[in-house]
Amino acid sequence: MQDDSAQTVRQALETQLPELKARVSAVDVRSAIATIILTPPDGGDGADEEAGLRARAEKAVLAVEGIERVRIIVETERRPVREAKRSAPSPAKAPAPLIIAVGSGKGGVGKSTVAANLAGACVRQGLRTGLVDADVFGPSAPRLFGLTEAPGLRKTDAGIVPLQAHGVKLVSTGFLVGGREPVVWRGPMVTGAIRQFLTEVDWDGGDGPLDVLIIDMPPGTGDAQLAIAQGMPISGAVIVSTPQTVALDDARKAMALFERTEIPVLGMIENMSFFLCPHCGEGSEIFGRGGVRSEAGLMGVPFLGEIPLHPSLREASDEGRLVALEDGPLARAFASAAGAMLETARTANRPAPEIVFED
């Protein structure tokens, strides 16, 4: 369905504005919001001409049935991945001793919900916790943390000031988009914006340095994900998957992506593992519980835990609450998964023992 609307939007753009055809690098449609990523114009175009072109593009997209809002993002830099790696900050400048990327090969498996609640579980353990919502296409942190009406991000001499909710400090491209107006992003975009989130945020802000930073990766396994993976000294990655075979196939691709960038996979979390009935508390294994555990076994990575499918998790997410900070089976599931994740991350990060030769 989502793919169909993206295709319709792309067609509308390309038919009505053939001059843009070569510049449309990605189109995404979610919740009636169309995001269009354009490559920069070829040298000659003046600023006015470019602004006019974008305005016409917005109009063309808004005319597509079902689209209520348009975001046009113009990439100004598209550095090859290798270059991104070179520009990665030195570990000394890393924002936290533990930086954990939460990824999934495919959207909709609940990765963002899991990432947010893992962050909540870290706060509950008394850790100073940050979260980067790196999903430029469908930022979900504003909704998950109840910050949809929050003011935009500010920048001071010390850096970008993160927002804070439920004890988690967070940045999201969602905080760059205001109200219901179509927004044109300027300046270094997509990978550029994310790179700023990875390198220019004042996480400390006088409260002390972070203990752990969680990165909610964009779904998929393309260049954007690779650039993020290489833009920061990530300690390890957690892969979220549902137990169905099709989701597992994508999870495998996500794992391969992290392996290519030499980021250790800390383990897998099974989301929507089984249906936990809100009435009787009984579990039903509707998607074939255990698929992720066996996949983790096959891939030789730890299995970190299972999160049940429960209506209250969706409700809490829509209301901007973190179940990880409440009581009940979901909170316990997140506490256990976060505990396993931190344990594996700390082990993976521990420096190798030094051999001392005695005379």
Ligand X SMILES: Nc1ncnc2c1ncn2[C@@H]1O[C@H](COP(=O)(O)OP(=O)(O)OP(=O)(O)O)[C@@H](O)[C@H]1O
Q: In the bound complex, what is the minimum distance in angstroms from residue 170's beta carbon to ligand X?
A: 15
Give the nearer residue to ligand X in terms of CB position, either 128 or 225: 225
Give the nearer residue to ligand X in terms of CB position, either 57 or 330: 330
CB 20 within 8 A of CB 27: no
Near ligand X by CB under 6 A, which window of 6-14, 111-119, 229-237, 250-258? 111-119
Per-position b or e across 285-295, b if 16+ CB within 10 A of its CB: eebebebbbeb
Q: Please report, as residue ranges, which positions from 116 to 135 form the binding site for ligand X (by CB under 6 A).
A: 135
CB 205 within 8 A of CB 161: yes
Whole-angstrom distance, CA of residue 132 vs CA of residue 135: 9
Q: What is the DSSP letter of 326?
A: S
* Of 95, 105, 120, 138, the one binding ligand X by CB under 6 A: 138
* Of 130, 162, 219, 243, the one binding ligand X by CB under 6 A: 219
Q: In the bound complex, what is the minimum distance in angstroms from residue 136's beta carbon to ligand X?
A: 11
Query: Per CB under 6 A, does 108 bind ligand X?
Result: yes
Number of residues that bind ligand X (CB under 6 A): 20
Whole-angstrom distance, CA of residue 102 vs CA of residue 121: 14
Query: Per the annotation, does 107 bind a ligand?
Result: yes
Query: Per the annotation, does 110 bind a ligand?
Result: yes
Whole-angstrom distance, CA of residue 99 vs CA of residue 163: 18
Query: Per the annotation, does 64 bind a ligand?
Result: no
What is the DSSP secondary-structure string of 212-229?
EEEEEPPSSSSHHHHHHH
Q: How many CA atoms lie within 13 A of 258 on its CB side?
A: 26
* Of 153, 272, 338, 345, the one binding ligand X by CB under 6 A: 272
* Of 35, 113, 221, 241, the one binding ligand X by CB under 6 A: 113
Q: How many CA atoms lie within 13 A of 292 on its CB side?
A: 29
Longest dimension (CA), the chain: 81
At a CB cut-off of 8 Å and minimum separation 6, what does 203 contact? 95, 96, 130, 162, 169, 209, 210, 213
Give the nearer residue to ligand X in terms of CB position, either 138 or 231: 138
Give the nearer residue to ligand X in terms of CB position, either 99 or 323: 323
Q: Please report, as residue ranges, which positions from 291 to 310 form the binding site for ligand X (by CB under 6 A).
A: 307, 309-310
Q: In the bound complex, what is the minimum distance in angstroms from residue 115's beta carbon to ligand X?
A: 7
Q: In the bound complex, what is the minimum distance in angstroms from residue 307's beta carbon to ligand X?
A: 5
Give the nearer residue to ligand X in terms of CB position, either 130 or 138: 138
Whole-angstrom distance, CA of residue 332 vs CA of residue 291: 21
Residue 226: other Cβ atoms inside 10 A: 18
x/- map, 307-326, ligand X, by CB under 6 A: x-xx--xx--x---------
Query: Per the annotation, does 155 bind a ligand?
Result: no
Q: Which residues bind ligand X (CB under 6 A)?
A: 104, 107-113, 135, 138, 140, 219, 271-272, 307, 309-310, 313-314, 317
Q: Can you say which residues are annotated as belonging to the binding site for ATP?
A: 105-112
